[in-house]
């Protein structure tokens, strides 16, 4: 089963209800670098060029962030109360969440055309 087989529902959730898994932050960034990147992102934060956060709703009723740590932290820094998420309800173990997270982050590098298009979109240029 791939991560695309478990696409969840699109919704808004209260950021304060989302649990950050500290181990993911440390493994991906290191805490100091993570905070620096989040603060840089928050300085001019805009959801439009970004995808939604990936969140797992566990059996205990708590929502755990699977993907989107920098975006979630930047949203917290700017005081956002709600964030757009894809809510996964059928991930039964932390191991399954890790599989989804890996699938979301195993992307091929952008081509020059894709990079130029993304930069144009982010800067507000429209054709």
Q: Give the pLDDT confidence of 9-63 residue by residue, as tens digits.
A: 788 889 999 888 776 666 667 778 888 888 998 998 887 777 889 888 888 888 9
Among residues 66, 57, 48, 119, the alpha carbon closest in space to that of 90 is found at 57
Structural domain including 59 reads 3-122
Number of domains in the chain: 1
Is pLDDT at 115 greater than 90 in this prediction?
no
The answer to whether residue 82 sits within a structural domain is yes
The answer to whether residue 19 sits within a structural domain is yes
The answer to whether residue 28 sits within a structural domain is yes
The answer to whether residue 127 sits within a structural domain is no
Give this prediction's pTM.
0.69
Q: 65 has which bridge partners? A: 55
Q: Report the CATH number at residue 76.
A: 3.90.1530.10
Q: 83 has which bridge partners? A: 13
The answer to whether residue 80 sits within a structural domain is yes
């Amino acid at each position: 089963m791939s991560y695309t087989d478990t696409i969840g529902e699109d919704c808004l959730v209260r950021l304060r209800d989302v649990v950050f898994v500290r181990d993911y932050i440390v493994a991906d960034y290191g805490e100091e670098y993570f905070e620096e990147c989040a603060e840089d992102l928050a300085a001019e934060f805009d959801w439009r060029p970004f995808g939604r956060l990936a969140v797992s709703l566990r059996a205990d009723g708590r929502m755990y962030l699977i993907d989107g740590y920098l975006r979630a932290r930047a949203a917290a820094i700017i005081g956002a109360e709600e964030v757009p998420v894809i809510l996964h309800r059928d991930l039964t173990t932390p191991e399954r969440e890790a599989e989804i997270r890996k699938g979301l982050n195993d992307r091929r590098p952008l081509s020059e055309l894709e990079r130029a298009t993304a930069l144009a979109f982010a800067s507000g240029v429209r054709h």
